[in-house]
Structure 1
């Protein structure tokens, strides 16, 4: 008989491309999980920073705190943890660039900019996406209209434990799920069975799997050390059997209803397939 599908992991990444942390439950909003990727680091030209070009961002870890989170540096204990509230104050704004999108954002505190610039050894600013900002998900694939935070393109990323288990049997050394930075992790079922999903629900919350997620060099960065794998794994190995239209796929880009609540342990039910 088919194995029951269950939500086994919920992950928040409050600052794009920095560390994330697991939560037992989370609210669903129009832009993804509440507090997910609403903050962003930008350079002097107000262009977004990610681990793709700056793997040292992996050394900045996050931990939950009351009404916000703490940022710490894995290798620099002399830097005391930096507290960031979940929301910024709307007293300073600027325009920022994320991929091809130009968006206005609220500035974080000056002391946060100073701490982060010192931690990374380069000038940077911390900015926040207001609820008043509209950033649309790919309109040609989402005619009903959906919003996204500072995430790459979709409000949710789904991945299966069986897929990671299968990949790890092919690698010289196994990798953890944090290489793929999912929001939603499910257990049970067959490896990559989510390729065929279209409509599904977690608990009572409906979702739509729109397309497979094309992976990048970020998957080769050890999130503990910020070191890139010299062989290019797991991306190199994944590309040998998960290549489709010039993309190497792992997990699903997903849209949701804009409201609801998820809990680890919720049942995952597939409603329709592509």
Structure 2
């Protein structure tokens, strides 16, 4: 047994997420997740790897996707907020995402001016066009917007608890919050009717999500794609919009190295069946596999 304890949508790639109680899981992930992306004037993607101040931008998208608000969490910036009418009719342009060419719909000069001032470098905002046909690879491939790879990132609290314990024991490092890893779905062990935790739940075991191959949550079904390879974004303090120290990569390198390269933490999933998700939904594993080695 396990339950959903948080659902987080990131409308603009690299910017802050928003926790929601309910969400519709589309074929490309949570509704509106990574449907916008900040790019250079040449169309090259921007992420927190090189622009950590993206973490200080709070996007809010209307339910129907027709309005987008960008709000500054840095009161000293003087940028305030900007309200945008989302367009899907403007001309498409090529955009670069990790060296692959896709299409984007430019959201106009007002969005570009606000982002350029806030980030201190010329930037523009693009939206995934209708008919976006990107397919992310993996054990079960699936469609995806402007996410790094697969549509959904799932992580258990027990995995973070183990990481924080190892950081404290091995380096005396303080614990990190879940937002360092920017998951879409956070799971924890199930609760009994009296509100106490049930013993023996799979989510009590750190990194059990690595072995989940098919899982039903609410009305939706997910299929395992791959382990989540971690990058320098995990070094960014999401409240400060700046890099701080070597953690968690230093500790992850001691016990979570992938044979194919890099360190892994959490798992990526494709959407097998769209449907509504809610915080509190039971996470029912339909098929288990072996952890990748």
TM-score higher than 0.5 here? yes
What's the CA shift string for 1:72-109, capped at 9, x where partnerless? 22223522212245x42312321101013211211102
After the TM superposition, which of the residue ranges 6-15 and 51-60 deviates more from structure 2? Answer: 51-60
- Output the CA distance in 2 between the equivalents of 1:183 and 1:235: 20
After superposition, residues 192-271 of structure 1 pair within 5 angstroms as 192-230=207-245, 232-245=246-259, 246-271=261-286
- The aligned counterpart of 1:17 is 14
Q: Given that residues 4 and 283 in structure 2 are in contact (C-alpha distance below 8 angstroms), is that contact kept between their aligned partners in structure 1?
A: yes
Q: Which runs of 4+ in 1 moved over 6 A?
A: none
Alpha-carbon offset, residue 227 of structure 1? 2.2
- Output the CA distance in 1 between the equivalents of 2:277 and 2:144: 18
Secondary structure in structure 2 of the residue aligned to 1:164: helix
Q: Given that residues 32 and 258 in structure 1 are in contact (C-alpha distance below 8 angstroms), is that contact kept between their aligned partners in structure 2?
A: no
What's the CA shift string for 1:145-199, capped at 9, x where partnerless? 5211000010000000111111111221111111101111101121111111111
The verdict on how the C-alpha distance between 1:127 and 1:63 changes in structure 2, with shifts beyond 3 A counting, is closer
- The aligned counterpart of 2:200 is none
- The aligned counterpart of 1:181 is 182
- Output the CA distance in 1 between the equivalents of 2:139 and 2:255: 25
- Output the CA distance in 2 between the equivalents of 1:93 and 1:173: 45
- Output the CA distance in 1 between the equivalents of 2:94 and 2:273: 25
TM-score (norm 2): 0.86
1:83 partnered with 2:83: yes
What's the CA shift string for 1:190-239, capped at 9, x where partnerless? 11111111111112321112221010010011011122122x10111111
Q: Given that residues 243 and 249 in structure 1 are in contact (C-alpha distance below 8 angstroms), is that contact kept between their aligned partners in structure 2?
A: yes
- Output the CA distance in 1 between the equivalents of 2:277 and 2:63: 20
Secondary structure in structure 1 of the residue aligned to 2:241: coil
Q: Given that residues 214 and 247 in structure 1 are in contact (C-alpha distance below 8 angstroms), is that contact kept between their aligned partners in structure 2?
A: yes
- The aligned counterpart of 2:195 is none
Alpha-carbon offset, residue 22 of structure 1? 0.3
What's the CA shift string for 1:22-67, capped at 9, x where partnerless? 0111111111111000000110221000111111211212345565
The verdict on how the C-alpha distance between 1:65 and 1:141 changes in structure 2, with shifts beyond 3 A counting, is closer
- Output the CA distance in 2 between the equivalents of 1:131 and 1:65: 17
- The aligned counterpart of 1:73 is 72
Q: Point out where structure 2 has 5 or more consecutive residues left out of the alignment.
A: 168-172, 190-202
1:148 partnered with 2:144: yes
TM-score (norm 1): 0.92
Residue from 7, 11, 14 that aligns with 2:4: 7
CA RMSD of aligned residues (A): 1.7
Q: Point out where structure 1 has 5 or more consecutive residues left out of the alignment.
A: none
